[in-house]
Amino acid sequence: MAETASMAETAAIGAPRAAYPLDALALGARSIEAARLTALGPAARLAFRGREAAIQAAGEAFGVALPREANRRHTADGRHALWLGPDEWMLLAPGADPAPLFAAIEAATAGLPHALVDVSARSVTIEVAGPKAAYVLNQGNPLDLSIEAFPVGSATRTLFHKAEIVLSRIAPDIFHVDVWRSFAPYVWQMLEDGRRELA
Amino acid sequence: MLIIDCPWCGARPEIEFRYGGEAHIARPADPAAMSDQEWADFLYNRTNPKGLHAERWRHIHGCGRYFNAVRDTVSDFFVTTYKAGEPRPDIGESGK
Ligand SMILES: [Zn+2]
């Protein structure tokens, strides 16, 4: 599956990608200040699952304590740990090489029951920023994205129209949408559709 | 849109969930000791009540967890939700 592919691609991360799925679409994106779209660059993404004993060790090795509260994101030194389930986290390091991170966490959790999978190449991240960012996202997502219900530091798996995404609020007006790369053009185009009236 | 209370994530929209059939059906410990009729009952026969029904749901586009819910099959009203492994809450025969 995607995990297998990402293992093979790991060696190439950092090298220029001939077909980053959003390149062509991002070039044609209109400038709409109320809801700006940006295709973010490659990132190390590790899917971590584990029980009590492994959770703290993984967080220490990654440099970010894994959040224990549902649907939260912890950030330290530009790295993010996102709660996706009671025993599941996404460890995200923009611009980083996943191999040494993977090795460090594997070493720290050796002998402790857990699963660690490099899924760096599985998804891409789209930034939606601006005073109408939540409004645009709500065209395809029914969550309450008010600052009270979904404050900065929130992160959750959810849906955008028909595609599964991981939605993360970075700042009051900045959201990150992590989406599997084959769905990325669809999500991008639906975001474009949602902000068309703001042009 | 229905709002379903995930025991882990709280109130979330129904499109994030998938139905998982009747809850609290334990796989028999020794299938070989059962008659064909008993085995068929385990595999296929469900209570299908008109009223309160304890059933499994999965928050598939959220935390990914299976949990249980008591739903009124007449009104589609979710009376309560609770984590997998917890006993069925003691509630009456029909909701509101
Ligand atoms: Zn949930």
Domain ranges of chain A: 2-40+122-198, 43-118
By the CB < 8 Å criterion, does B5 face chain A?
no
Taking an 8 Å cut-off on Cβ atoms, the answer to whether A85 and B16 are in contact is no
CATH of the domain spanning A43-118: 3.30.70.1520
Long-range contacts for A190-193 (Cβ within 8 Å, ≥24 apart)? A190/A139, A190/A140, A190/A160, A190/A161, A191/A35, A191/A37, A191/A126, A191/A128, A191/A136, A191/A137, A191/A140, A191/A160, A192/A25, A192/A29, A192/A30, A192/A37, A193/A139
Contact residues, chain A, for B18 at CB < 8 Å: none
Taking an 8 Å cut-off on Cβ atoms, the answer to whether B63 and A143 are in contact is no
User: What are the 10-residue block averages of pLDDT along chain A, 199 residues in total?
Assistant: 48 54 85 95 96 95 98 97 98 97 98 97 96 98 97 98 98 98 96 94
pTM value is 0.89
Tell me what ipTM this predicted complex has.
0.88
User: What's the A53 CA to ligand 1 centre distance in angstroms?
Assistant: 23
Of the candidates A195, A191, A198, A130, the one whose C-alpha atom is nearest the C-alpha of residue A165 is A191
Domains of chain B (ranges plus CATH)? 3-26+36-83 (3.30.2270.10)
Tell me the percentage of chain A whose pLDDT exceeds 70. Answer: 90
CB-based burial label for A141 (10 Å; 0-12, 13-18, 19+): buried
Answer CATH for A2-40+122-198 from 3.10.150.10, 3.30.1360.120, 3.30.70.3000, 3.30.1300.10: 3.30.1360.120
CA distance A133 to chain B (A): 20
Residue of A nearest to B63 (CA): A85
Contact residues, chain A, for B4 at CB < 8 Å: none
